[in-house]
Amino acid sequence: MFLNTVAAQTAGSSAGANWQMLLPLILVFGVMYFLIIRPQNRRMKEQQNMQSSIKNGDTIATSGGLIGRVIKLEDKEIHVDFNRSGQTIRVLRTAVVGLVEPTNKAKTMTQPNQENGKAVEKAPASATPAAAPKPRVRSSMNRGRAGTNNRRPASKKTEE
């Protein structure tokens, strides 16, 4: 008896109930589109434009955190010199996450003068007198590395 009344109620109002059930799903999808999908597509398009606009001599950053200068371009990979030694490493274009603007230490920075509004040249931080170098911390962790002189002396063997 109960099932007959439920069937009769759903048969009469099925069109209105379907719209009421679909409306929250449509709203959730709309919110997800504007908050998640659309910004992600915009970021992907910007990333692809940046990767396609790389040219020789650009300084790039890879997804592994390495920064280097582009030497040669190919279709899907680029040749990058990371330590300016002349040896290049092949990197996929998709591994490039950004272009790094080179910093020129020789340039002087300009700041507006508060009194008259004109730009005043300011010496770079490297022009100040250098403080005494910090002493190197010697630990057992850097034993045997180039440039360190903290190897343990050979153990003395006693003959019995």
For 11-30, how does the pLDDT look when each residue is reduced to its tens digit (9 = 90+)? 555 666 788 889 999 999 99
The ranges of the chain with pLDDT < 50 are 105-115
CB atoms within 10 A of CB 11: 8
Look at residue 90 and tell me if it is in a domain: yes
Look at residue 94 and tell me if it is in a domain: yes
Question: What pLDDT is attached to residue 46?
Answer: 95
Q: How many domains does the chain have?
A: 2
Looking up residue 116, the CATH number of its domain turns out to be 2.30.30
Instruction: Show the domain range for 87.
Output: 55-125
Give first-to-last CA distance, the chain, whole Å: 104
Question: What pLDDT is attached to residue 101?
Answer: 84
Look at residue 59 and tell me if it is in a domain: yes
Question: What pLDDT is attached to residue 141?
Answer: 54
Beta strand spans in the chain (E) = 59-62, 67-73, 77-81, 89-92, 96-99, 109-112, 119-122
Average model confidence (pLDDT) for the chain? 75
Q: Which distant-in-sequence residues (6+ apart) come within 8 Å of 118 by Cβ?
A: 112
Q: Are residues 28 and 59 in the same domain?
A: no
Q: Are residues 59 and 47 in the same domain?
A: no
Return d(Cα 108, Cα 79) in angstroms, integer.
32
**Angle between helix 2-12 and helix 14-32 axes, rounded to 10 deg:** 70
Look at residue 146 and tell me if it is in a domain: no
Look at residue 131 and tell me if it is in a domain: no
Return d(Cα 152, Cα 144) in angstroms, integer.
9
Look at residue 147 and tell me if it is in a domain: no
Question: What pLDDT is attached to residue 74?
Answer: 93
Q: Are residues 13 and 47 in the same domain?
A: yes
Task: Tell me the per-residue pLDDT of 65-91, one tens digit each, with 9 for 90 and over.
Answer: 999 999 999 999 999 999 888 899 999
Q: Are residues 37 and 67 in the same domain?
A: no
Beta carbons of 55 and 69 less than 8 angstroms apart: no
